[in-house]
């Protein structure tokens, strides 16, 4: 019996998980195939017996781009309710509980499949990136349950067929060939950016040129935040939209990669040419060109990614050192997950540090195996902080540069934010624009709450509205940071909009006095004005870190309604719930 695995993902995480499930199926001796939902032949759907869906969510609970065509088909009103009566399915949702519409795409798909007669093999799995163990906390037990259910329902053995020969346990997705330059007949060109190829096949992907990269925080402030501006022709976006950017690994990380392998007697020539061709899985567009190993290490493999349980399993297969093999095996077991958490997740240990910690196993690696172990760099999303009405052909980003300490000696660095922070004038970025979560209504009163870099989408909306010669007296902006003189991002913009355009601007500088003042305290002080806005059909927009702020602000608005209307706690909570249901209280947060 064949098992089909379909994924939908904006950044590639769902694809990674789907391919891991496909490898599991192959290891169990089962016929299986895997593809993006949009690449699947929809005509085969009513003849399928088992499908496993791996689904991420974008925007306001929307399906990702490579699922939308498939989803539109399922939503056809003329589909019979018995269309999928022979289908057994499982859905694994990949989400982040800091977002209001957590795993909505998976939930909606589950509901629709049931309406069309399909039978749920196992309950919907809702993985959460916010969990200490990340998505693996749900993915691993969910998969164990699914294989057991398939075993019991269809009387199919789902025990892994593990052989003595390590190589037989490794399922390779691609054919990897190392070639000499002489055999290319001058067809190879050393391109600077390997993703340029995508631009010719997808007109949504653009190239931007850096025109300014300035620090918005004081030099002695603990955090480096950048306002990065770049120019690109023929771009189109609205306030509230986001962009995805492809970063590159740092020179330091690239050198460390090659040094680790050289120290373990694995000779990896950075200049060797690599050709990737299809074996079991469709080859990504970027890998269809001839590339040097250096280009792949710099721009395709994520040298900062945190290894997962599946990584440990593959290393276990090739390990020949008793101590290392035992430890790697422990990491793959259910009982070893706490140990894996303490080793990888708690200190944020990356793949290079794993290679360095297991030198004997690392010495058994080669380029082919690295293609199975390494994870591709995933694009990162940022809110757009500019308006095309003010700065034509420009996109501005407000980026907090991620750097922090763990128990490891080396500080942890955010891959994309640090890459962006080091860009200089005329450097290039590859990006694409996507609809964001916010839907701004300029004709209604608007209350914006944006502490820190959460201010970015509201800078976009306020500049855009001001460019229409609109007075901003029907807008309130609550901004929060630590110190007025150290991290008041885009201060000149907001003070200009307040003085010249009538913006109601209120700031909470939490560390400028003995007692801490946060945005919710300033909202409390301005409850009369806020209630006036809400009474006139106004909307609330909130953006920022998901930790405590969103709940504190929501609680303050409940108190505000209770105070201004003399209502009960329950009635005030229902009022705010109604705003949320009517899309009048919109939230965009991140962990």
Q: At what angle do helices 549-565 and 569-581 cross, to 10 degrees?
A: 120
95 annotated as belonging to a binding site for a ligand: yes
- Taking residue 390's Cβ as centre, other Cβ atoms within 10 Å add up to 14
74 annotated as belonging to a binding site for a ligand: no
- Which tokens hold the place of 498? 């307040």
11 annotated as belonging to a binding site for a ligand: yes
Query: Phi, psi at residue 16, to the nearest 5°?
Result: -55, -45
97 annotated as belonging to a binding site for a ligand: yes
> Residue written as tokens 């590859």?
430
Classified as helix, coil or strand, 109 is helix
Query: Phi, psi at residue 66, to the nearest 5°?
Result: -80, 15
201 annotated as belonging to a binding site for a ligand: no
For residue 73, give Cα distances in angstroms to 35, 77, 106, 263, 266. Answer: 17, 9, 16, 53, 49
Classified as helix, coil or strand, 56 is strand
590 annotated as belonging to a binding site for a ligand: yes
450 annotated as belonging to a binding site for a ligand: no
332 annotated as belonging to a binding site for a ligand: no
454 annotated as belonging to a binding site for a ligand: no
134 annotated as belonging to a binding site for a ligand: no
10 annotated as belonging to a binding site for a ligand: yes
Q: Where are the beta strands (DSSP E) in 190-324?
A: 206-215, 225-231, 242-245, 273-278, 291-292
What is the Cβ-side half-sphere exposure of residue 531, based on CA atoms within 13 angstroms? Answer: 16
289 annotated as belonging to a binding site for a ligand: no
Q: Nearest-CA neighbor of 2 among 44, 37, 39, 63? A: 44
382 annotated as belonging to a binding site for a ligand: yes
Displacement of CA 455 from its chain's centroid (Å): 20
208 annotated as belonging to a binding site for a ligand: no
CA separation for the pair 348, 115 (Å, rounded): 42
292 annotated as belonging to a binding site for a ligand: no
100 annotated as belonging to a binding site for a ligand: yes
Displacement of CA 44 from its chain's centroid (Å): 31
453 annotated as belonging to a binding site for a ligand: yes
DSSP classification of residue 100: T
CA separation for the pair 55, 66 (Å, rounded): 10
Q: Where are the beta strands (DSSP E) in 459-561?
A: 475-481, 504-509, 539-545
310 annotated as belonging to a binding site for a ligand: no
Displacement of CA 510 from its chain's centroid (Å): 30
12 annotated as belonging to a binding site for a ligand: yes
218 annotated as belonging to a binding site for a ligand: no
CB 575 within 8 A of CB 567: yes
DSSP classification of residue 343: I
591 annotated as belonging to a binding site for a ligand: no
508 annotated as belonging to a binding site for a ligand: no
59 annotated as belonging to a binding site for a ligand: yes
In residues, how long is the chain?
591
101 annotated as belonging to a binding site for a ligand: yes
516 annotated as belonging to a binding site for a ligand: yes
209 annotated as belonging to a binding site for a ligand: no
333 annotated as belonging to a binding site for a ligand: no
414 annotated as belonging to a binding site for a ligand: yes
103 annotated as belonging to a binding site for a ligand: yes
177 annotated as belonging to a binding site for a ligand: no
CB 417 within 8 A of CB 401: yes
413 annotated as belonging to a binding site for a ligand: no
In DSSP terms, 52 is beta-bridged to: 5, 90
- Which tokens hold the place of 328? 């790697």
118 annotated as belonging to a binding site for a ligand: no
Annotated binding site: 9-14, 56-59, 94-103, 129, 380-383, 414-417, 453, 510-511, 516-520, 590
Known binding site for NADP(+): residues?
453, 510-511, 516-520
Binding-site residues for FMN, please? 9-14, 56-59, 94-103, 129
User: Binding site for FAD: residue ranges?
Assistant: 380-383, 414-417, 590
């Amino acid at each position: 019996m064949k098992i089909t695995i379909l994924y939908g993902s904006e950044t590639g995480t769902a694809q990674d998980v789907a391919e891991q499930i496909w490898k599991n199926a192959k290891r169990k001796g089962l016929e299986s195939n895997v593809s993006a939902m949009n690449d699947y032949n929809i005509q085969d759907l009513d003849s399928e017996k088992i499908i496993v869906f791996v689904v991420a969510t974008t925007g306001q609970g929307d399906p990702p781009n490579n699922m939308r065509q498939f989803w539109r088909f399922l939503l056809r009103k003329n589909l019979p309710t018995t269309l999928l009566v022979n289908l057994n399915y499982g859905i694994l949702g990949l989400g982040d509980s800091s977002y209001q519409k957590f795993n909505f795409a998976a939930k909606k798909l589950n509901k629709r499949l049931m309406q069309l007669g399909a039978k749920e093999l196992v309950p919907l799995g809702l993985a959460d990136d916010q969990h200490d163990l990340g998505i693996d906390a749900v993915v691993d037990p969910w998969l164990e349950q699914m294989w057991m259910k398939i075993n019991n329902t269809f009387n199919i053995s789902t025990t892994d067929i593990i052989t003595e020969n390590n190589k037989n346990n490794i399922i390779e997705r691609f054919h990897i060939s190392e070639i000499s330059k002489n055999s290319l007949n001058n067809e190879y060109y050393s391109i600077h950016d390997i993703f340029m190829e995508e631009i010719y096949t997808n007109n949504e992907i653009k190239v931007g040129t850096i025109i300014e990269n300035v620090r918005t925080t004081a030099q002695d402030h603990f955090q480096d935040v950048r306002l990065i501006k770049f120019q690109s022709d023929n771009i189109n976006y609205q306030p509230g939209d986001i962009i995805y950017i492809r970063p590159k690994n740092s020179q330091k990380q690239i050198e460390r990669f090659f040094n680790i392998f050289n120290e373990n007697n694995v000779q990896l020539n950075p200049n060797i040419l690599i050709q990737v061709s299809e074996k079991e899985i469709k080859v990504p567009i970027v890998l269809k060109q001839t590339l040097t190993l250096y280009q792949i290490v710099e721009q395709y493999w994520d040298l900062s990614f945190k290894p997962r349980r599946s990584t440990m399993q593959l290393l276990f297969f090739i390990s020949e050192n008793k101590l290392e093999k035992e430890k790697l095996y422990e990491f793959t077991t259910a009982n070893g997950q706490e140990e894996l958490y303490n080793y990888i997740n708690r200190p944020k240990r990356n793949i290079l540090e794993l290679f360095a910690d297991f030198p004997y196993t690392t010495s058994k690696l080669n380029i082919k195996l690295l293609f199975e172990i390494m994870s591709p760099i995933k694009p990162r999303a940022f809110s757009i902080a500019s308006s095309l009405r003010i700065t034509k052909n420009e996109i501005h980003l407000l980026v907090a540069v991620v750097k922090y300490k763990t128990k490891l000696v080396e500080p942890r660095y955010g891959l994309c934010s640090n890459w962006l922070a080091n860009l200089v004038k005329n450097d290039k970025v590859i990006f694409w624009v996507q609809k964001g979560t916010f839907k701004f209504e300029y004709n209604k009163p608007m209350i914006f709450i944006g502490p820190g870099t959460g201010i970015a989408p509201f800078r976009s909306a306020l500049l855009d509205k001001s460019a229409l010669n609109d007075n901003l007296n029907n807008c309130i902006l609550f901004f929060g940071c630590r110190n007025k003189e150290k991290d008041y991002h885009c201060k000149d913009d907001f003070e200009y909009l307040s003085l010249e355009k009538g913006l109601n601007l209120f700031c909470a500088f939490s560390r400028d006095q003995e007692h801490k003042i946060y945005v919710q305290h300033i909202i409390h002080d301005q409850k009369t004005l806020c209630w006036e806005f809400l009474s006139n059909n106004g909307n609330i927009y909130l953006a920022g870190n998901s930790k405590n702020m969103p709940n504190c602000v929501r609680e303050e608005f409940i108190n505000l309604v209770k105070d201004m209307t003399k209502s009960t706690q329950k009635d005030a909570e229902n009022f705010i719930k109604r705003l949320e249901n009517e899309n009048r209280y919109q939230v965009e947060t991140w962990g």
